């Protein structure tokens, strides 16, 4: 890597890779700094699901959808947001972003029609067949390497180079107590959010501060720290993506399909404790308040649907699920009071059958009432990533509190403010993180190329 380039990317997840690819294709000299020993970040830990409205893949599947419908869905679930213009921008470019991933990047993703997931009224998620984010990341890495974009892993950016109010690159830890300057005409902050920084989580997202962090290492909040020092505006800082059911002790997610299709979560006493249809993110804080562990109960029909996902199949293969002929049996296998669990599921089944209202207000029951045989899984709630960050404009430029852009500085993904609203996890719709990562990364690369081209910006 040279010491002076056009476009420096700090962070090697989906956002940074997308930005580097777009910038390289536009003719910019580009390089990526990644603090850990491999690219991917939280993108690699996700299901690789990128939502988009109005794609040709939806049309081919007979699904009518458009950006305006997607925008309305996001605003309904997010409620109030600090930046509705960003929500509209992301939905407007969602289709072209997904088609760019397939046509230009060569990403092997497909429209998911088996489920919609929380926040979507249409089938919008485009994901690898495996439903593993690492596969999408690997395709992005291959595309970057094909363009001779260097990805310098194990390189920690210590601080930004700022001259006359403009960002001119970054200072990097060169090892042995030495530092090195990487000077650049434009810099993209793509180093995720602050989920691994317990102080920042406690400051901005106190309701989930007690949950385990299951995101990628390295999400230490440098973008927030550096941005604040430059006078950047911060938006939606209380928003985050939680996950209500990480399999314990295995550490992999229990597919939310198990709950969305009709399963339930019980506490350590064997009782239900809330409306699971809040979604895997919104329900995480409820699970956190119910105790250190919860227990998913679902049936054979739901199991067979979830088995289409590789991570779920691996969880099953590694003994993460208990199977039995009755709810009492699978509950007792987890150390619960089988009779209490049996009564809890029976009451739920009556509500699902229309014999009365669910006491917790659940109205979306999927395939329930649940039928034998049954499965159980012990789970814990988790914080996956934060959704607040630097305020950016339509081209991913970082904006100060006075409304002016910080010259030379872009942000995307977890470093930028998200589209999940102002508060907590209830506003998170599936794929919000990956959409803002890839779309903002690409937009940053394209805008930098326009501004750095000869002639007027």
Q: Residues 331-343: what's their mean pLDDT?
A: 98
Helix (H), strand (E) at residue 435: helix 432-452
pLDDT score of 187: 98
What is the distance between the alpha carbons of residues 13 and 192, in angstroms, rounded to a whole number?
8
Q: How confident is the model at residue 425 (pLDDT cuts 50, 70, 90)?
A: confident
The first and second tokens of residue 327, run together, are: 């709810």
Kindly tell me the burial class for residue 177, based on how many C-beta atoms sit within 10 Å of its own C-beta (0-12, 13-18, 19 or more). Answer: exposed
What is the distance between the alpha carbons of residues 415 and 423, in angstroms, rounded to a whole number?
17
pLDDT score of 455: 56
Helix (H), strand (E) at residue 169: strand 166-175
* Radius of gyration in angstroms for the set of CA atoms belonging to the chain, rounded to a whole number: 22
Residue 161 has pLDDT above 80, yes or no: yes
Q: Is 369 helix (H, G, I), strand (E, B) or coil?
A: coil
Q: How confident is the model at residue 307 (pLDDT cuts 50, 70, 90)?
A: very high
Mean pLDDT of the chain: 95
pLDDT score of 3: 60
Residue 457 has pLDDT above 80, yes or no: no
pLDDT score of 74: 96
Q: Residues 333-348: what's their mean pLDDT?
A: 98
What is the distance between the alpha carbons of residues 376 and 254, in angstroms, rounded to a whole number?
11
Non-local (6+) Cβ contacts of 54 within 8 A are: 65, 66, 67, 70, 94, 95
**Could you report the per-residue pLDDT of 68-122, keeping only the tens digit for each?**
999 999 999 988 999 999 999 999 999 999 999 999 999 999 999 988 778 899 9
Enumerate domains of the chain plus CATH numbers: 4-195+388-452 (3.50.50.60), 241-383 (3.90.700.10)
pLDDT score of 454: 73
Query: 432 and 241 in contact (C-beta within 8 Å)?
Result: yes
Non-local (6+) Cβ contacts of 85 within 8 A are: 394
Residue 147 has pLDDT above 90, yes or no: yes
**Could you report the per-residue pLDDT of 355-370, keeping only the tens digit for each?**
999 999 999 999 999 9
User: Which pTM does this prediction carry?
Assistant: 0.88
**Could you report the per-residue pLDDT of 249-286, keeping only the tens digit for each?**
999 999 999 999 999 999 999 999 999 999 898 899 99
**Could you report the per-residue pLDDT of 27-78, keeping only the tens digit for each?**
999 999 999 999 999 999 898 999 999 999 999 999 999 999 999 999 999 8
């Amino acid at each position: 890597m040279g010491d002076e380039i056009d476009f420096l990317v700090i962070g090697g997840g989906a956002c940074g890779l997308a930005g580097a690819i777009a910038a390289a294709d536009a003719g910019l000299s580009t390089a990526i700094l990644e603090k850990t020993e491999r690219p991917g970040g939280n993108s690699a830990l996700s299901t690789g699901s990128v939502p988009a409205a109005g794609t040709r893949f939806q049309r081919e599947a007979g699904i009518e959808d458009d950006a305006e419908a997607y925008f309305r869905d996001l605003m309904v679930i997010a409620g109030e947001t600090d930046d509705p213009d960003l929500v509209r921008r992301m939905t407007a470019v969602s289709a072209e972003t997904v088609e760019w991933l397939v046509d230009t990047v060569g990403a092997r993703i497909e429209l998911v029609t088996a489920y919609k997931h929380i926040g979507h009224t249409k089938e919008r998620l485009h994901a690898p067949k495996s439903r593993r984010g690492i596969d999408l990341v690997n395709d992005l890495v291959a595309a970057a390497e094909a363009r001779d974009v260097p990805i310098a892993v194990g390189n920690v950016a210590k601080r930004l180079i700022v001259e006359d109010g403009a960002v001119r690159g970054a200072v990097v830890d060169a090892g042995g107590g030495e530092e090195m300057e990487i000077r650049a005409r434009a810099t993209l902050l793509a180093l995720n959010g602050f989920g691994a920084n317990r102080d920042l989580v406690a400051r901005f997202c106190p309701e989930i501060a007690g949950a385990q962090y299951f995101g990628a290492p390295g999400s230490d909040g440098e973008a927030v720290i550096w941005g604040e020092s430059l006078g950047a505006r911060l938006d939606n800082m209380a928003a985050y993506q939680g996950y209500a059911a990480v399999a314990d002790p295995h550490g992999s997610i229990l597919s939310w399909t198990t709950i969305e299709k009709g399963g339930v979560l019980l506490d350590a006493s064997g009782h239900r404790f809330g409306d699971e249809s809040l979604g895997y993110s919104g329900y995480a804080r409820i699970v956190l308040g119910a105790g250190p562990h919860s227990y998913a109960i679902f049936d054979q029909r739901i199991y067979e649907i979830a088995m289409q996902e590789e991570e779920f199949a691996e969880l099953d293969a590694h003994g993460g699920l208990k199977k039995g002929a009755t709810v009492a049996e699978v509950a007792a296998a987890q150390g619960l009071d089988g009779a209490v669990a049996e009564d809890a599921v029976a009451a739920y089944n009556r509500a699902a059958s229309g014999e009365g209202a669910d006491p917790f207000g659940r109205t979306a029951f999927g395939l329930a009432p649940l039928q034998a045989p049954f499965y159980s899984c012990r789970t814990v709630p988790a914080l996956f990533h934060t959704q607040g960050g630097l305020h950016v404009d339509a081209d991913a430029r970082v904006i100060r509190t006075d409304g002016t852009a910080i010259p030379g500085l872009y942000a995307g993904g977890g470093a930028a403010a998200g589209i999940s609203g102002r508060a907590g996890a209830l506003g998170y719709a599936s794929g919000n993180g990956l959409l803002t990562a890839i779309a903002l990364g690409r937009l940053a690369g394209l805008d930098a190329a326009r501004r750095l081209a000869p002639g007027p910006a």
